[in-house]
Amino acid sequence: MQIFLPIADIPVNVFLVLAMGLAVGFISGMFGIGGGFLMTPLLIFIGVQPAVAVASVTTHVAASSFSGAIAYWRRNALDMTLALTLLAGGIVGSAGGVALFTWLRALDQLDLAIGLSYVTLLGIVGLLMVGEGARAIVRAYQGKPPVLRRPGSHAWFLGLPLKLRFKRSKIYASAIPVLAIGFIIGFLGAVMGIGGGFLLVPLLIYLLRVPTATVIGTSMVLTFLTMVSATVLHAATNHLVDAVLALILMAGGVVGAQFGARAGQRIRSEWLRLLLGLLVLAVGSRFAFQLVLRPEDLYSIRMIEGGP
Amino acid sequence: MNIALVAALLFAALLAGSRPAAAERLVASLTNHRVLITSNYTGVELVLFGTVESDGASPVRSGAFDIVATVTGPRESLRMRRKARVLGIWVNTQGRTFVDPPSYLAVVSNRPLDSIAGDEARRRLQLGIADTPLPELINNDIGEVANDPFRAALVRLMYKRGLYNEASNGVTFLTPTLFRAAIALPASVPTGNYTVDVKLFADGNMIARTDSTFQIVKVGFEQFVVEAARDHGLLYGFATALMAMVTGWIASVAFRRD
């Protein structure tokens, strides 16, 4: 069944988009991530303009992270103080990212910047995850107990001034590294069109030593807040959010996420980390090939809104 | 003797060159002047019917007629980029800005353009995509570049998207004077005003022309969404954000297990 998307200006098969929503939702539910880094490339692949894809995926990620955040809120497994501090840094980061986005687009180098940042970021994060997951699996097979986190050694940046108490996470740390992490996530989110959950969770665990109990819920709240504001911003400034596309995506996404979450609970966490790492690496290498291989056509068109 | 020859030649030239005005009249009409984009729109074919009418005063032309119809969509500036290899990766290194090229350009005729009119006539009448000017921005000046690879790439990419097209079998003569032209509008056509310029040729000369227009518009729900997004961006943003929250909430209630 074909449906014409009003903002994207193309007809798409409803069932194809619904299936994409389900598949990405399943993966995001399984790993507790937003899935923007998978959905945006998929939409571009079926012919949606990159700008519309990025903007509409923010709405989709807002929906799936909201349903996730509700579940964690009900279990009291999120840290609002931490989420709001991260958000404060994130807003500034987003503004910087949007400015860079606009500047690079005018220079015809946006595609390159997006490609390079996907390769670098997904490459590094993917390798770290695969390495860490593999080591944990090997340890589990050898019957050794898992390495305990929170060895008590506090990193120097947690001792910076502007100390804040994050009650739910049981940490007392400087707001500066928290704001900085928020800034990085917001900046990358605006440039790459990703929620940044796959990046935020490891940063919170390894740098801020946030306990596992609150880390996913807090990341979901932050993702929801940044993605909701990104939706409103994209809609108000660029008029690029396709509500019809977003609705089909989120309908598939929220259902897929529920099944994904159930499947995720049946898999051991170190295997989960290894699988997610491999997935991240796969997407990263796809972008790497795109940069290195000779493109099918050396020429490309960019429409100029409102004249040259 | 010489004078008689010159006079005879002049007379022959007059007969051949300057035809009596409006010996043939071209009448053409589109089947539809408004193409509506609804939620199940996947492209459409528009049909143009036309007939060549003789004014009756002059003798009926014995030779066959040729028809060339040019459909031009709304104009929008665009930028062409070319990639080159820099340090092992492919980077956009060069670019050109094209000033208001048509976003849709279809030229349909009953036989190949070069057998309808000569090179000079095609250039003068801007007949066919190759002879349609596509001006570029060159150092704050607007002009055409001869043998420009960027222009060739623009035409090629637009062809690929189905937005530029030249069909030498797009016009069929049902009778020697009645013709039918098919205009394919793919799903990706931009909305706006389109012009159809129909030219009648005989023996390599244009003897009549007429034009028509049509509109491609979004209607119903599509139009509502587009207008809301364009004119009330902030409100539209809040509405979509609310939609996301409601969907997320419904999912969390529907799949609640505690």
**pLDDT tens digits, B191-234:** 899 999 999 998 888 989 999 999 998 888 888 888 888 888 88
Q: Do B83 and A300 lie within an 8 Å CB cutoff? A: yes
pLDDT band at A96 (very low <50, low <70, confident <90, very high): confident
pLDDT band at A153 (very low <50, low <70, confident <90, very high): low
Q: Which of A258, A295, A308 is nearest residue B83 as measured by Cβ atoms? A: A295
In this complex, is the C-beta atom of A64 within 8 Å of any C-beta atom belonging to chain B?
yes
- For B80, the token pair is 């062409």
Q: Please report residues of B whose CB lies closer than 8 A to that of A29.
A: none
d(Cα A257, Cα A42) in Å, to the nearest integer? 17
Query: Across residues B104-115, what is the average pLDDT?
Result: 93
Nearest CA in chain A to B188: A10
d(Cα B229, Cα A7) in Å, to the nearest integer? 8
Query: Across residues A249-271, what is the average pLDDT?
Result: 83
Q: Do A299 and B258 lie within an 8 Å CB cutoff? A: no
Q: Which of A3, A70, A298 is nearest residue B252 as measured by Cβ atoms? A: A70
pLDDT in tens, A32-88: 777 888 888 889 888 888 778 888 888 898 888 888 888 888 888 788 888 899 999
Fold of B23-218: Immunoglobulin-like (2.60.40)
Query: Across residues A13-33, what is the average pLDDT?
Result: 88
Report yes or no on A308 lying in a domain.
no
Nearest CA in chain A to B37: A4
pLDDT, position B63:
64
CA atoms lying within 13 Å on the CB side of residue A83: 21
- Provide the residue range defining the domain that includes A234: 2-292
Query: Strand, coil or helix: what is A166?
Result: strand
Q: Which of A234, A258, A307 is nearest residue B77 as measured by Cβ atoms? A: A307
Q: Which of A258, A292, A300 is nearest residue B88 as measured by Cβ atoms? A: A292
In this complex, is the C-beta atom of A233 within 8 Å of any C-beta atom belonging to chain B?
yes
Report yes or no on A24 lying in a domain.
yes
B126 vs A170, more confident: B126
pLDDT in tens, B133-182: 899 988 888 888 878 899 999 999 999 988 999 999 999 999 888 999 99
* pTM (2 d.p.): 0.74
Report yes or no on A297 lying in a domain.
no
Say how many Å lie between the first and final Cα of chain A, rounded.
38
Strand partners, B72: B105, B195
- Rounded to the nearest angstrom, the minimum Cα separation between B108 and chain A is 25
Query: Across residues A154-179, what is the average pLDDT?
Result: 76
Residues of chain B with CATH 2.60.40.3880: 23-218
Hey, what amino acid is at B153? A
Residue B18 has pLDDT above 60, yes or no: no
pLDDT, position B180:
94
Report yes or no on A305 lying in a domain.
no
pLDDT band at A307 (very low <50, low <70, confident <90, very high): very low
pLDDT, position B61:
62
Report yes or no on A302 lying in a domain.
no
Residue B67 has pLDDT above 90, yes or no: yes
Nearest CA in chain A to B245: A63
pLDDT, position B167:
92
Task: Tell me the residues of chain B between 180 and 219 that have a Cβ less than 8 Å away from chain A.
Answer: 187-188, 190, 218
CA dihedral A218, A152, A176, A103 (to 10 degrees): -70
pLDDT, position A308:
35
Report yes or no on A298 lying in a domain.
no
Domain count, chain A: 1
Lookup result for tokens 């990046």 = A199
Report yes or no on A303 lying in a domain.
no
Report yes or no on A63 lying in a domain.
yes
Strand partners, B95: B81
Using a 10 angstrom Cβ sphere, with 0-12 exposed, 13-18 middle and 19 or more buried, the burial of residue B248 is buried
d(Cα A217, Cα A194) in Å, to the nearest integer? 18
Show contacts of A14-20: CB within 8 Å, 24+ apart. Answer: A14/A248, A16/A46, A17/A46, A17/A245, A17/A248, A17/A249, A17/A252, A18/A248, A18/A251, A18/A252, A19/A252, A20/A46, A20/A249, A20/A252
DSSP for residue A172: E
